[in-house]
Amino acid sequence: MEAVQACGGVALVLPAAQSAVREYVEVVDAVVFTGGGDVDPLYFGEEPVSTQRVTPARDAFEISLVRELLAARKPILGICRGLQVLNIAAGGDIYQDLSLPVGNGFLIKHRQNAPGWYPTHWIEVHAGSLLARIWGQARVRVNSFHHQAVRSLAPGFKAAAVASDGVVEAMELEGDGFVLGVQWHPELMWAKDTYQRQLFASLVEAAERRKTQVRS
Protein backbone atom coordinates (compact mmCIF):
# COMPACT_ATOMS: atom_id res chain seq x y z
CA MET A 1 0.00 0.00 0.00
CA GLU A 2 2.84 2.38 0.87
CA ALA A 3 4.58 1.75 -2.45
CA VAL A 4 1.37 2.31 -4.45
CA GLN A 5 0.65 5.50 -2.54
CA ALA A 6 4.24 6.75 -2.89
CA CYS A 7 3.77 6.35 -6.67
CA GLY A 8 0.57 8.40 -6.77
CA GLY A 9 -2.00 5.62 -6.53
CA VAL A 10 -4.82 5.27 -4.02
CA ALA A 11 -4.50 1.89 -2.30
CA LEU A 12 -7.49 -0.06 -0.97
CA VAL A 13 -7.54 -3.47 0.68
CA LEU A 14 -10.13 -5.90 -0.70
CA PRO A 15 -11.68 -8.32 1.79
CA ALA A 16 -11.65 -11.86 0.38
CA ALA A 17 -15.36 -11.96 -0.46
CA GLN A 18 -15.91 -14.16 -3.49
CA SER A 19 -19.46 -12.87 -3.97
CA ALA A 20 -18.05 -9.34 -4.43
CA VAL A 21 -15.50 -10.10 -7.17
CA ARG A 22 -17.51 -8.59 -10.05
CA GLU A 23 -18.22 -5.38 -8.10
CA TYR A 24 -14.57 -5.07 -7.06
CA VAL A 25 -13.44 -5.35 -10.68
CA GLU A 26 -15.79 -2.52 -11.65
CA VAL A 27 -14.53 -0.27 -8.84
CA VAL A 28 -10.74 -0.72 -8.99
CA ASP A 29 -8.32 0.35 -11.74
CA ALA A 30 -5.69 -2.31 -10.98
CA VAL A 31 -4.92 -4.98 -8.40
CA VAL A 32 -1.74 -6.01 -6.59
CA PHE A 33 -1.79 -9.65 -5.49
CA THR A 34 0.50 -9.92 -2.48
CA GLY A 35 2.64 -12.74 -1.15
CA GLY A 36 1.34 -15.39 1.22
CA GLY A 37 1.02 -19.13 1.79
CA ASP A 38 0.71 -21.91 -0.77
CA VAL A 39 -2.17 -22.25 -3.22
CA ASP A 40 -4.03 -25.56 -2.71
CA PRO A 41 -2.49 -27.84 -5.39
CA LEU A 42 -6.02 -29.07 -6.11
CA TYR A 43 -6.27 -25.97 -8.34
CA PHE A 44 -3.71 -27.46 -10.73
CA GLY A 45 -4.78 -31.05 -10.36
CA GLU A 46 -2.15 -32.35 -7.95
CA GLU A 47 -1.98 -33.97 -4.55
CA PRO A 48 -0.12 -31.97 -1.87
CA VAL A 49 3.69 -32.28 -1.75
CA SER A 50 5.24 -30.62 1.33
CA THR A 51 2.46 -28.04 1.08
CA GLN A 52 2.70 -25.30 3.69
CA ARG A 53 0.03 -22.89 4.95
CA VAL A 54 -3.10 -23.03 2.75
CA THR A 55 -5.85 -20.38 2.94
CA PRO A 56 -8.92 -21.84 1.16
CA ALA A 57 -11.08 -18.69 1.15
CA ARG A 58 -8.21 -16.59 -0.17
CA ASP A 59 -7.39 -19.14 -2.90
CA ALA A 60 -10.96 -19.19 -4.19
CA PHE A 61 -11.29 -15.40 -4.03
CA GLU A 62 -7.98 -14.58 -5.69
CA ILE A 63 -8.40 -17.12 -8.48
CA SER A 64 -11.84 -15.68 -9.34
CA LEU A 65 -10.50 -12.15 -9.11
CA VAL A 66 -7.59 -12.86 -11.49
CA ARG A 67 -9.97 -14.35 -14.07
CA GLU A 68 -12.37 -11.41 -13.89
CA LEU A 69 -9.52 -8.88 -14.11
CA LEU A 70 -8.06 -10.63 -17.16
CA ALA A 71 -11.48 -10.60 -18.82
CA ALA A 72 -11.81 -6.87 -18.04
CA ARG A 73 -8.23 -6.22 -19.21
CA LYS A 74 -7.35 -4.39 -16.00
CA PRO A 75 -3.71 -4.14 -14.87
CA ILE A 76 -2.34 -6.73 -12.42
CA LEU A 77 0.87 -6.92 -10.44
CA GLY A 78 1.36 -10.32 -8.79
CA ILE A 79 4.02 -10.61 -6.10
CA CYS A 80 5.43 -14.05 -5.10
CA ARG A 81 2.24 -16.02 -4.24
CA GLY A 82 0.51 -13.40 -6.42
CA LEU A 83 2.54 -14.52 -9.46
CA GLN A 84 1.68 -18.14 -8.66
CA VAL A 85 -2.04 -17.36 -8.28
CA LEU A 86 -1.93 -15.51 -11.61
CA ASN A 87 -0.35 -18.47 -13.39
CA ILE A 88 -2.64 -21.07 -11.81
CA ALA A 89 -5.81 -19.02 -12.40
CA ALA A 90 -4.87 -18.60 -16.07
CA GLY A 91 -4.25 -22.34 -16.55
CA GLY A 92 -0.58 -22.87 -15.69
CA ASP A 93 1.00 -24.76 -12.80
CA ILE A 94 3.88 -24.55 -10.35
CA TYR A 95 6.63 -26.61 -8.78
CA GLN A 96 5.25 -27.29 -5.32
CA ASP A 97 8.64 -27.35 -3.63
CA LEU A 98 11.99 -26.18 -4.98
CA SER A 99 13.78 -28.28 -2.34
CA LEU A 100 12.71 -31.38 -4.33
CA PRO A 101 14.47 -32.26 -7.62
CA VAL A 102 13.62 -29.69 -10.30
CA GLY A 103 14.79 -29.83 -13.94
CA ASN A 104 18.49 -30.69 -14.02
CA GLY A 105 18.79 -30.48 -10.28
CA PHE A 106 21.02 -27.56 -9.32
CA LEU A 107 19.23 -24.57 -7.86
CA ILE A 108 20.55 -21.38 -6.34
CA LYS A 109 19.25 -20.23 -2.95
CA HIS A 110 15.71 -18.86 -3.29
CA ARG A 111 14.97 -18.51 0.41
CA GLN A 112 17.48 -15.96 1.61
CA ASN A 113 18.53 -15.31 5.19
CA ALA A 114 19.69 -11.78 4.35
CA PRO A 115 17.36 -8.86 5.21
CA GLY A 116 14.27 -8.45 3.04
CA TRP A 117 15.37 -5.22 1.38
CA TYR A 118 18.69 -6.78 0.34
CA PRO A 119 18.97 -8.39 -3.13
CA THR A 120 20.73 -11.77 -3.13
CA HIS A 121 20.50 -13.17 -6.68
CA TRP A 122 20.57 -11.97 -10.29
CA ILE A 123 17.74 -12.20 -12.75
CA GLU A 124 18.14 -12.05 -16.52
CA VAL A 125 15.40 -9.92 -18.11
CA HIS A 126 14.13 -11.07 -21.50
CA ALA A 127 14.53 -8.53 -24.30
CA GLY A 128 11.26 -7.20 -25.68
CA SER A 129 9.32 -7.88 -22.47
CA LEU A 130 7.22 -5.37 -20.57
CA LEU A 131 9.71 -5.75 -17.71
CA ALA A 132 12.59 -4.86 -20.05
CA ARG A 133 10.68 -1.75 -21.16
CA ILE A 134 10.06 -0.73 -17.54
CA TRP A 135 13.68 -1.20 -16.51
CA GLY A 136 15.75 -0.68 -19.66
CA GLN A 137 18.19 -3.09 -18.05
CA ALA A 138 19.05 -6.72 -18.85
CA ARG A 139 20.29 -7.88 -15.42
CA VAL A 140 18.99 -6.82 -12.02
CA ARG A 141 19.51 -8.18 -8.50
CA VAL A 142 16.45 -9.17 -6.48
CA ASN A 143 15.59 -10.62 -3.09
CA SER A 144 14.26 -14.18 -2.82
CA PHE A 145 11.78 -15.71 -0.36
CA HIS A 146 10.03 -18.54 -2.15
CA HIS A 147 9.91 -22.34 -2.03
CA GLN A 148 7.67 -22.65 -5.10
CA ALA A 149 7.98 -21.42 -8.70
CA VAL A 150 6.27 -21.50 -12.09
CA ARG A 151 6.50 -24.85 -13.93
CA SER A 152 4.26 -24.56 -17.02
CA LEU A 153 3.34 -21.03 -17.99
CA ALA A 154 -0.36 -20.37 -18.53
CA PRO A 155 -1.48 -20.01 -22.17
CA GLY A 156 -0.91 -16.45 -23.38
CA PHE A 157 1.86 -15.78 -20.84
CA LYS A 158 5.62 -15.70 -21.32
CA ALA A 159 8.61 -15.60 -18.99
CA ALA A 160 9.93 -12.05 -18.55
CA ALA A 161 12.95 -12.89 -16.38
CA VAL A 162 14.76 -16.00 -15.15
CA ALA A 163 17.33 -16.71 -12.45
CA SER A 164 20.68 -18.27 -13.39
CA ASP A 165 19.27 -21.73 -12.53
CA GLY A 166 16.38 -21.29 -14.98
CA VAL A 167 13.70 -20.59 -12.34
CA VAL A 168 11.08 -18.20 -13.77
CA GLU A 169 11.37 -14.99 -11.74
CA ALA A 170 8.88 -12.88 -13.71
CA MET A 171 6.03 -13.66 -16.10
CA GLU A 172 3.72 -11.44 -18.11
CA LEU A 173 0.73 -11.59 -20.40
CA GLU A 174 1.68 -11.31 -24.07
CA GLY A 175 0.33 -8.24 -25.85
CA ASP A 176 0.17 -4.63 -24.75
CA GLY A 177 -1.66 -4.81 -21.41
CA PHE A 178 -0.04 -4.65 -17.96
CA VAL A 179 -0.27 -8.09 -16.37
CA LEU A 180 3.00 -8.86 -14.62
CA GLY A 181 4.01 -11.36 -11.96
CA VAL A 182 7.29 -11.21 -10.06
CA GLN A 183 8.63 -13.99 -7.86
CA TRP A 184 10.65 -11.67 -5.61
CA HIS A 185 9.32 -9.07 -3.13
CA PRO A 186 9.57 -5.49 -4.51
CA GLU A 187 7.47 -4.22 -1.58
CA LEU A 188 10.43 -4.92 0.72
CA MET A 189 12.90 -3.18 -1.62
CA TRP A 190 11.28 -0.15 -3.27
CA ALA A 191 12.26 2.40 -0.59
CA LYS A 192 15.97 1.78 -1.33
CA ASP A 193 15.82 0.46 -4.90
CA THR A 194 14.73 2.53 -7.91
CA TYR A 195 14.11 -0.55 -10.09
CA GLN A 196 11.61 -1.94 -7.62
CA ARG A 197 9.90 1.40 -7.17
CA GLN A 198 9.48 1.55 -10.97
CA LEU A 199 7.31 -1.58 -10.86
CA PHE A 200 4.73 0.17 -8.69
CA ALA A 201 5.03 3.43 -10.63
CA SER A 202 4.44 1.55 -13.91
CA LEU A 203 1.39 -0.20 -12.47
CA VAL A 204 -0.11 3.13 -11.37
CA GLU A 205 0.62 4.64 -14.81
CA ALA A 206 -0.93 1.65 -16.58
CA ALA A 207 -4.05 1.92 -14.41
CA GLU A 208 -4.33 5.64 -15.13
CA ARG A 209 -3.76 5.12 -18.87
CA ARG A 210 -6.40 2.41 -19.13
CA LYS A 211 -8.92 4.55 -17.25
CA THR A 212 -8.31 7.52 -19.57
CA GLN A 213 -8.72 5.30 -22.67
CA VAL A 214 -12.02 3.90 -21.42
CA ARG A 215 -13.35 7.41 -20.66
CA SER A 216 -12.48 8.87 -24.07
- Nearer of residues 81 and 110 to Mn ion, judged by Cβ: 110
Whether 187 is catalytic is yes
Binding site for Mn ion (CB under 5 A): 110, 144
Question: Closest distance between Mn ion and the C-beta of residue 85, in Å?
Answer: 17
Catalytic entry in 169, 172, 185, 205:
185
Helix (H) or strand (E) holding 77: strand 76-79
DSSP 54: B
- Nearer of residues 64 and 87 to Mn ion, judged by Cβ: 87
Closest residue to Mn ion, based on beta-carbon distance = 144
Cα separation, 151 vs 154, in Å, equals 9
Query: What 3-state class would DSSP assign to 193?
Result: coil
Whether 80 is catalytic is yes
- Nearer of residues 157 and 184 to Mn ion, judged by Cβ: 184
Catalytic entry in 62, 172, 187, 205:
187
Question: Closest distance between Mn ion and the C-beta of residue 176, in Å?
Answer: 27
Cα separation, 102 vs 128, in Å, equals 27
Q: Exposed, middle or buried by CB within 10 Å (0-12, 13-18, 19+), for 199?
A: buried
Would you please indicate which residues are annotated as catalytic (active-site) residues?
Answer: 80, 185, 187
